[in-house]
Amino acid sequence: MIKSEDIKEILDRLEAQYPEAECALHHQNVFQLIVAVALSAQTTDKSVNQVTPALFDAYPDAEALAAAEPAEVEEYIKRIGMYRTKAKNIVGLAKSLVADHGGQVPEDYDALVALPGVGRKTANVVLSVGFGHQRIAVDTHVFRVANRIGLVEAKDVLKTELGLMERIPEERWSRTHHSLIFHGRQCCDARKPQCQACVIAEFCEYLNKTEG
């Protein structure tokens, strides 16, 4: 893996390269955030952003969404993948928020993952972006980039998250999460990584192995 003493330099370079790195899902409050993140599974943020304005106009809060029928919600999100399952999930999510949390999104990990359609990644994004906690949410980009360059050596998402938490200072968790996502989108592509343009190429295990 990448040497511990090089991690600060790597993070500094990534943050300098992507100063605009932040949550790409459009939202105006934590309720909209959790719904948008739940909709983003196996779908691009861009696609989610195209359907959520009309969705949030129709259902501006948990109470409104909880009162909807999934079939009604499907009409707003049918352009994204798995829209039937997601419609059912976000209505169930809203019902749980109303029934158990007064219509508010809880600022608690265990309470979040107990909600329909909310897994570890969604809970971490909500806690980080919505409430300002330091969290690392591992999506496909974070998983790929972190393991490819050698920040961690892990076979699954959970081990990747725990490994990053061990190796990265806690005060940088959230920022690193967004930097790795942007690096995965803009440079470290799954099939054709742009290694010649990479600001951390000299530290990358993937590139070193390829050249070796």
- Is 50 found in the same domain as 125? yes
Q: How far apart are CA 136 and CA 132, in angstroms?
A: 12
Taking the whole predicted model, whether its pTM rises above 0.85 is answered as yes
Identify the active-site residue in 45, 86, 95, 139: 139
Q: Domain boundary at 130, 165, 196, which?
A: 130
139 is catalytic: yes
The pLDDT value recorded for residue 183 is: 98
CATH number at residue 8: 1.10.1670.10
Could you report the per-residue pLDDT of 184-196, keeping only the tens digit for each?
A: 999 999 999 999 9
Domain of residue 150, residue span: 4-21+136-211
- Is 104 found in the same domain as 43? yes
- Is 125 found in the same domain as 144? no
The pLDDT value recorded for residue 5 is: 94
The pLDDT value recorded for residue 212 is: 55
Q: How far apart are CA 123 and CA 157, in angstroms?
A: 14
Torsion from C-alpha of 174, 9, 155, 130, nearest 10 degrees: 0
Largest CA distance in the chain: 60
CATH number at residue 60: 1.10.340.30
φ and ψ of 54, to 5 deg: -70, -35
Identify the active-site residue in 45, 86, 95, 121: 121
* Half-sphere exposure for 199 (CA within 13 Å, toward CB): 16
Q: Domain boundary at 70, 104, 130, which?
A: 130
Could you report the per-residue pLDDT of 48-93, keeping only the tens digit for each?
A: 999 999 999 999 999 999 999 999 999 999 999 999 999 999 999 9
Q: How far apart are CA 206 and CA 150, in angstroms?
A: 8
- Is 141 found in the same domain as 116? no
- Is 15 found in the same domain as 53? no
Contact assessment for residue 130 and residue 168, using Cβ atoms and an 8 Å cutoff = no
* Half-sphere exposure for 134 (CA within 13 Å, toward CB): 10
121 is catalytic: yes
- Is 144 found in the same domain as 102? no
Mean pLDDT by runs of 10 across the 212 residues of the chain is: 94 97 96 96 93 98 98 97 95 98 98 93 96 96 96 96 97 97 96 95 87 60
- Is 181 found in the same domain as 103? no
The pLDDT value recorded for residue 119 is: 92
Count of domains forming the chain: 2
Q: Domain boundary at 80, 102, 130, which?
A: 130
